[in-house]
Amino acid sequence: MAGDPVLVREERSPAAALLPALAAGLVAAVVGGVVWGLIVKWTDYEVGFAAWGIGFLVGLAVVTAARTRGVVLQVVAVLCALLGILIGKYLSFVWVLQNAAEDEFGEAVDIPVFSMDTFDLFRDNLDTIFGWIDLLWVGLAVLSAWRALQPERPAPAQPVPEPAPDKAGPP
């Protein structure tokens, strides 16, 4: 109909899509990491597949913001997903440490999230914070973020039918 809006798919170059994609990926990574940290804090259980969810969420955010796909955007999504997982692990570490200190001393203990001492303690304990099973979840998160921005494959070309042989035969 004449009054219906026309939906146009906007194609953007990866360079023009980089800034919105990076912003969306960072927001999704921070939100995903905080949510994962809160899940651990509230349940006292590290739900590993939340890391996979962070990869999926970041990939979805980047492809939605970029409205295009490509290798550069795939790298952005993977790096943002890894950042989100690191944020989730860090917050989980801090909040579990706070709970353990409260249990030990019987009162609330303030362990600041944004402290170099806390960060140094996290860094010094990476071997206990990240286990072998984390490789599975991180790998699935990276795969999800990467695949979300994989360039679309063009539709296969339709074969051109050969003309029918002439029925008259050879001259």
Closest CA to 88 of 124, 141, 132: 141
DSSP one-letter string for 124-144: HTHHHHS-HHHHHHHHHHHHH
Q: Share the mean pLDDT of the chain.
A: 83
pLDDT of residue 80: 96
Tokens of 58: 């970041």
Q: How confident is the model over 90-112, as a mean pLDDT? A: 84
The answer on pLDDT for 122 being more than 80 is yes
CA distance 80 to 88: 12
Q: How confident is the model at residue 8 (pLDDT cuts 50, 70, 90)?
A: very low
The answer on pLDDT for 142 being more than 50 is yes
Q: How confident is the model at residue 7 (pLDDT cuts 50, 70, 90)?
A: very low
Write out pLDDT tens, residues 15-59.
Answer: 777 899 999 999 999 999 999 999 998 998 888 888 899 999 999
The answer on pLDDT for 155 being more than 90 is no
Of residues 152 and 36, more confidently modeled:
36
Write out pLDDT tens, residues 63-84.
Answer: 999 888 888 889 999 999 999 9
Closest CA to 33 of 93, 76, 73, 120: 93
Q: How confident is the model over 143-170, as a mean pLDDT? A: 73
pTM across the whole model: 0.77
pLDDT of residue 82: 95
